Amino acid sequence: MTLIPRRDFLGASGVLTGLIAAGSPLALLAPSRAWAIDLKALSSTEGATLMAVARTIAPHDKLDDAAYALVIQSLDADAAKDAQLLRTLRDGSRQLGAAFASAAESARVQSLKAVETTAFFQTVRAKTLGTLYATPIAYAYFGYEGEAFSKGGYLLRGFNDLHWLPEVPLEDSGPVPGQS
Amino acid sequence: MTRISQDDSGAVVIIGSGAGGGTLAHELTRRGIKVVLLEAGARQSLASFSQVPGDAFAQLTWLEPRTISGTTTVAQDYPTLPSWTCKTLGGTTVHWTGATPRIRPWEVRSRSTYGAIPGASLIDWPIEYAELEHYYQLAEKRMVVTRRNGNPGLPASNHFKVMYNGAKRIGYKRVHTNYMAINTRPADGRGVCIQQGFCVQGCKTGAKWSTLYTEIPRAEATGNLDLRIQCRAARIEHGENGLATAVVYRDAQGNEQRQKARIVCVACNSVETARLLLLSESAKFPHGLANSSDQVGRNYCSHTGGFVWGIFDKPINFWRGTTLAGIIEDETKHDPKRGFAGGYHLELAALDLPSLPLAGLPSTMWGRDFAFVMEHYRSMAGMFINGEDLPRATNRITLNPKVKDAFGLPVANIHVDDHENNAAMRAHAQRQSKALYEAVGAIRVVNSRQTPATHNMCTARMSKDPGDGVANAHGQTHDIANLFISDGSALSTPGSANPTLTIVALALRQAQFIAAQMAAHSI
């Protein structure tokens, strides 16, 4: 995602916009709290419906909309190259209806349960799961520290700093390298 | 770099460079035997391993299409990735987790021990355990396995502390940081484990044994290895006498090439090994090579299990530390009172954040339930159930004529119907795991379903009776004296151990046999 302070949607089909919540770790990364994503293939309404689908599949209340917008951006990029996928997303969004995006969560869940086995749902689910948790936004939100090789691994950075349970006897584990 | 002429019919051609093929290549070349090693993938290095989970997956994984059928939940959850294997020099020894438990004595006599089980096609191994044990010792020395030969164990991570304390509280006795081919101190020219937790992405310190940076460069150094990467075997040819004569493959440019051979060893991982034998059908062998018994591709086994996740309200940070450094051995026994034949290991297992939703949770799980698990990423613990899968004649690899690869060849279809023994074992393991986590305060325990198999076995199995399998006790096919099975396909049954150590042990044994046969001009 490009976090841009003002949108430039020449040639774009639709657009998703939002405001990063104050205090979000994302606020530190972005040049402005306002963000916008241009959609190449999907309309703004379809984008908004799909955003709501992604949020219903993976409802993290305090996770910024911007994180979900990345999912839609990736779906849109795929759909721009794949007419059949675009049709699947359009038909699926239309079937859910324009009211879906603003419906209560229980109603959204019910609507999605009815289409759970469709290619539409499975596609959006796979994209949501594959995209949402692979971003720096998600790493920060879920507390995942990621690769550690560049920092010398976790050997000296807390791999064994848990103290709410008894330690493991040496005979069932082994010495920590560098300590004896 | 050594070059062997394509018309040189004196070479041994090995297809696949993983635990079986890579080890065999080193063992033969160091004995002065010329080897052509074909590897479908590219060559990575410690420096080139990606540390972005999704990129690493794409860098190392066999992503060409395969299909799956049957009642297994894998067909529902992972229709496009029914098996998780590698396409890279070093094969699955690049992404494996380093766990090296042994298959147990009664597991190589499973048919005799368990008796006849309806719907299963168990056989006893054609090898005595005492002999296998000898090669286990050689393999453990070579791979520098922890807790063997006086090597210290890996230290306990946060994640293992949770597993260990839970296990002890429910009465388990044999719980430790696993037998691991991961260095705890410098050895074998490899680095030391720094508890990165990126075992599956390729170990950047080389602490974890892999043929990529042990057996293969050592084979190259002998001057007897002609390594050809990005070369994909398409078929094995034979002469009028029924012996294998050449391997036809596609090179990196997609051009067809033909390498003559004195001996062909197939080590493409179980799914592709069976596929290659089936693709090599001819007028003389209309059902594929080495398949007069109709056993090629049958008896496909993975391991019964899946993940169990314990959710806690205190921090664990389970991604820190060696991914699989923890094992419980107490359930590795044959005790029919539990309601099933065979046994299982419970092994420590963590997933990186991007992989957890994709590989660790069932596809039917979404919404608040799913989000609850993800929200507890900092405070969750995980184990992988690794249980003995029962072979079935109908669980098999076949060619799928409806789906073709880039070269127009039918892809492999994996058909799996879970045996009720597996279901009973999985349920038992899930109950035990739940009790274990609750004993240390878990607020919730969540099961995955069966995951795409990283352990693929038994599709060209060794058998005493040629009618029961594909190869003899040396992996030499019953039908074709100069055609060998050199990977996990050859395992007669899967046991409950992660297969790499057994594959290496069998490769060491096979290399001795091949060298002796060549010296005696028997092949």
Q: Give CA B291 to chain center in angstroms.
A: 22
In angstroms, what CA-CA distances link A178 with A174, B146, B269?
A: 12, 17, 38
**Which residues of chain A have a CB within 8 Å of the CB of B327?**
none
Name residues 28-57 of chain A within 8 A of B (Cβ).
56-57
Residue B502 gets the label, from left (phi > 0), alpha (psi -120 to 50) or beta, of alpha
Torsions phi, psi for B445 (to 5 deg): -130, 130
CB pair distance less than 8 Å for B160 and A139: no
How far apart are alpha carbons B262 and B277 in whole angstroms? 17
**Which residues of chain A have a CB within 8 Å of the CB of B161?**
160, 162, 165-168
CB pair distance less than 8 Å for B195 and A139: no
DSSP string, chain A: ----SS---TT-SEEEEEEPPTT-HHHHHSSSSEEEEEESSS-HHHHHHHHHHHHHHS--TTS-HHHHHHHHHHHHHHHHH-HHHHHHHHHHHHHH-TTGGGS-HHHHHHHHHHTTTSHHHHHHHHHHHHHHTSSHHHHHHHT-----GGGT-STTTTTT---SSPPPPGGGS-PPTT--
Instruction: Report the SS3 class of residue B51.
Output: coil
User: At a CB cut-off of 8 Å and minimum separation 6, what does A82 contact?
Assistant: none
Nearest to B194 among A109, A133, A153 (CB): A153
Give the minimum alpha-carbon distance from B394 to chain A in angstroms, rounded to a whole number: 27
Nearest to A144 among B165, B314, B319 (CB): B319
* Chain A interface includes B71 (CB < 8 A): no
DSSP string, B231-289: -EEEEEEE-TTS-EEEEEEE-TTS-EEEEE-SEEEE-S-HHHHHHHHHHT--SSSTT-T
B interface mutation test: which of A122, A137, A159, A167 has the most B CBs within 10 A?
Answer: A159
CB pair distance less than 8 Å for A154 and B195: yes
Nearest by Cα to A126 from B379, B382, B354, B432: B354
Residue A115: inside a domain, yes or no? yes
Residue A178: inside a domain, yes or no? no
Torsions phi, psi for B251 (to 5 deg): -85, -175
CB pair distance less than 8 Å for B198 and A162: no
CB pair distance less than 8 Å for B358 and A143: no
Pairing type for strands B410-415 and B67-69 reads parallel
Exposure class string for B268-301: b at 16+ Cβ within 10 A, else e: bbbbbbbbbbbbbeeeebeebbbbbbebbbbbbb
CB pair distance less than 8 Å for A142 and B161: no
Cβ contact A148:A154 at 8 Å: yes
How far apart are alpha carbons A155 and B194 in whole angstroms? 5
**Which residues of chain B have a CB within 8 Å of the CB of A176?**
155
Q: Give CA B177 to chain center in angstroms.
A: 20
Q: What's the pTM value of the predicted model, to 2 decimals?
A: 0.96
Nearest to A159 among B158, B164, B358 (CB): B158
Nearest to A129 among B51, B314, B358 (CB): B358
Task: Please provide the distance, in angstroms rounded to a whole number, between the alpha carbons at the two ends of chain B.
Answer: 27
Nearest to B378 among A112, A143, A154 (CB): A143
Tens-digit pLDDT profile for chain B (523 aa)? 899 999 999 999 999 999 999 999 999 999 999 999 999 999 999 999 999 999 999 999 999 999 999 999 999 999 999 999 999 999 999 999 999 999 999 999 999 999 999 999 999 999 999 999 999 999 999 999 999 999 999 999 999 999 999 999 999 999 999 999 999 999 999 999 999 999 999 999 999 999 999 999 999 999 999 999 999 999 999 999 999 999 999 999 999 999 999 999 999 999 999 999 999 999 999 999 999 999 999 999 999 989 999 999 999 999 999 999 999 999 999 999 999 999 999 999 999 999 999 999 998 999 999 999 999 999 999 999 999 999 999 999 999 999 999 999 999 999 999 999 999 999 999 999 999 999 999 999 999 999 999 999 999 999 999 999 999 999 999 999 999 999 999 999 999 999 999 999 999 999 999 999 999 999 9
Count of domains for chain A: 1
Residue A179: inside a domain, yes or no? no
Name residues 76-135 of chain A within 8 A of B (Cβ).
109, 112, 116, 122, 125, 129-130, 132-134
Cβ contact B454:B85 at 8 Å: yes
User: At a CB cut-off of 8 Å and minimum separation 6, what does B186 contact?
Assistant: B192
Domain ranges of chain B: 12-115+122-519
How far apart are alpha carbons B444 and B312 in whole angstroms? 7
Nearest by Cα to A150 from B349, B378, B58, B52: B52
What pLDDT was estimated at residue A179?
77
Q: Which amino acid is at B423?
A: A
Give the minimum alpha-carbon distance from B251 to chain A in angstroms, rounded to a whole number: 30
Nearest by Cα to B450 from B63, B71, B67: B71
Per the listing, tokens 């096919």 go with B477
Supply the ipTM of this predicted assembly: 0.94
How far apart are alpha carbons B48 and A11 in whole angstroms? 39
Nearest to B177 among A144, A152, A172 (CB): A172
Record the tokens describing residue B462, joined without a space.
């060794």
Name residues 128-167 of chain A within 8 A of B (Cβ).
129-130, 132-134, 138-139, 142-150, 152-155, 157-162, 164-167
CB pair distance less than 8 Å for A147 and B366: no
Structural domain that includes position A82: 14-172
Nearest to A173 among B177, B319, B364 (CB): B177
Domain B12-115+122-519: give its CATH code.
Answer: 3.50.50.60
Residue A53: inside a domain, yes or no? yes
Give the minimum alpha-carbon distance from B203 to chain A in angstroms, rounded to a whole number: 9
